[in-house]
Amino acid sequence: MRSKVTVVGAGNVGATAAQRIFDRGYADVVLVDIVEGLPQGKALDIQESGPVLGSDATIVGTNGYEETAGSDIVVITSGIARRPGMSRDDLLLTNMRIVSSVVSEVAEHSPDCVILPVTNPLDAMAQRAYQVSGFPKSRVVGMAGILDTGRFRTFLAEELSVSVNSIEAYVLGGHGDTMVPVVGSTTVGGIPVANLIAADRLEEIVQRTRDGGAEIVNYLKTGSAYYAPSASIVQMVEAILFDKNEILPCTALLQGEYGINDLFVGVPVKLGNGGVVEVVEFDLNDDEMAALKHSADAVQELVEVMASNES
């Protein structure tokens, strides 16, 4: 029996994630959106690719949540996207209300699922999903660090003309301007990256990683990234469904780890059956720890803004 994955939001990120999951054939997919006809049309188009790709999975589009009942994983991508000149934080209150509504429906129809928030600002939306759902902390885990780490590895591989598979790296912290590429633990074929790239050039690559989403937004003008985000979603989905116990940078609730309490922040987690199996604590140097706490403070500010604007 195939697993069941729901993707809420049939925009570029959600529809592409749904397509990638369907293509692999291990899960039936439900694509949800409030726009009448949009999820139905995209789902039908994806379904008709099944014979070509050899996928016997099913995918249905809907404007409601009845079809999502009993989902193993629910990915939440719904919300307004960034436009040029907007920060992820500019989306806060509008997306808070959207995510709150979605999570209420999800918790009712799939009370045993794992929720994967993707909507920006990611860390704050994960916090909101946790509060509204009432789920245990293990079953709410946000997608951000995999994407940010993917960008970091891409830029390093380009700089050194090596395979991306030779780059071992993690990006921690909030999914925004305060994210923390952990340079001290980054290696290329086992060699510390600081031994291969001059410090000033390395800092430029770190900054490009922080600006990675904005760079794409500025190119597209009317949209934001979706190919790399959707691939990152699928890596998390597979780690959970196949109980891989894979260590991945994700947004998880910290309760004392890294000296941070009761806040969703990007950290390495062991991801497997049921969501977060455990938070993995890396040894960070003083600068990296300070940067992570600074990033957590930025997330805390957003959480406080949400709390003061609850209706």
Query: For residues 91 and 99, is the Cβ–Cβ distance under 8 A?
Result: no
> Which one of 98, 175, 176, 183 is the catalytic residue?
175
Q: Hey, is 86 helix, strand or coil?
A: coil
Measured in whole angstroms, the distance separating CA 204 from the mean position of its chain's CA atoms is: 24
Give the CA distances from residue 271 to residues 189, 244, 311, in Å, rounded to whole numbers and listed in that order. 25, 7, 34
Query: For residues 273 and 169, is the Cβ–Cβ distance under 8 A?
Result: no
Query: Is the Cα dihedral 155, 181, 150, 213 positive or negative?
Result: negative
Alpha-carbon distance 144 to 176, whole Å? 9
- Active-site residue flag, 294: no
CB burial readout 162-191, b (16+ within 10 A) else e: eeeeebebbbbbbbbebbbbbbebbbbeee
Query: For residues 13 and 230, is the Cβ–Cβ distance under 8 A?
Result: yes
Alpha-carbon distance 31 to 75, whole Å? 10
Is the previous residue joined to 268 through a cis bond, with omega within 30 degrees of 0?
Answer: no
Token pair listed for 288:
């990296």
Q: What is the DSSP string of 3-52?
A: EEEEEE--SHHHHHHHHHHHHH-SEEEEEE-SSTTHHHHHHHHHHTTHHH
Q: How many residues are there in the chain?
A: 311
What residues act catalytically? 175
